[in-house]
A = this chain, B = another copy of it.
Amino acid sequence: MPTPATRLHRHPERGRYDRETLYAILDEAPFCHVGFVAEGRPFVVPTIHARHGDVLYFHGSPASRMLRQLKQGFDCCVTATLLDGLVLARSAFNHSMNYRSAMVLGRAVEVTEPDERQLAFATIVDHVARGRWDDCRWPTAREAKATSILRLPIEEFSSKVRGGPPKDAEDDLGLPHWAGVLPLGLVAGEPEPSPDLEPGIAVPAYIEEYER
């Protein structure tokens, strides 16, 4: 259900308030932008998120501005957006983009319980590349200590989705300008092995066949 804070005022037909739509966007987006207020000013910072059930996890250095603020229990807004295409209408006014955007509002809290911290680490690594957690060295106690994990319950949220062709006014349909959609998507290139990679280690299937 939308709240006063999440209900779309502009283009209400693009609003979605179900978890299925939200979770599909959050899971497909490789990273998100986190907004928070520090010393009265808004900040927006890109970061890696990962969803587990009805919870979002983030991580970061305890020294970062973002995590210093969030640990104090500041409100935050997590927005993840996938660009699907450019929408070219005959009229400048009706130009748009096709996109899917997920927004979660709430108060993030620090995760301190060791089992949940380990779960969050695994969820974040597998969010980057599914299958990677079982194919990497897990954090040592010292490394774990150097990482803050935050939990944001997914309670207040909305999605915005625009798809399909441009919508020009009847009067403009005869204009001589091309109109349509140019699809855009995130595509993986050839994996680049690290210069210090030991010989004989093949590119794993979850990277070779990577798709989001």
Contact = CB atoms under 8 A, between A and B. Distances in A.
A83 B31 contact: yes
A1 interface: no
Identical chains in the assembly? 2
A5 B14 CA distance: 34
Contact of A129 (B78, B81, B86): B86
B185 A79 contact: no
Interface residues of A, number: 98
A19 to B, nearest CB: 20
Interface in A132-178: 132-133, 135-140, 143, 146-147, 160, 165-166, 168, 172-178
A79 B207 contact: no
Interface of A: 5, 9-10, 30-31, 33-46, 48, 60-61, 63-65, 75-79, 81, 83, 85-86, 88-93, 95, 97, 99, 101, 103, 105, 121, 125, 128-129, 132-133, 135-140, 143, 146-147, 160, 165-166, 168, 172-198, 201-204, 207, 210
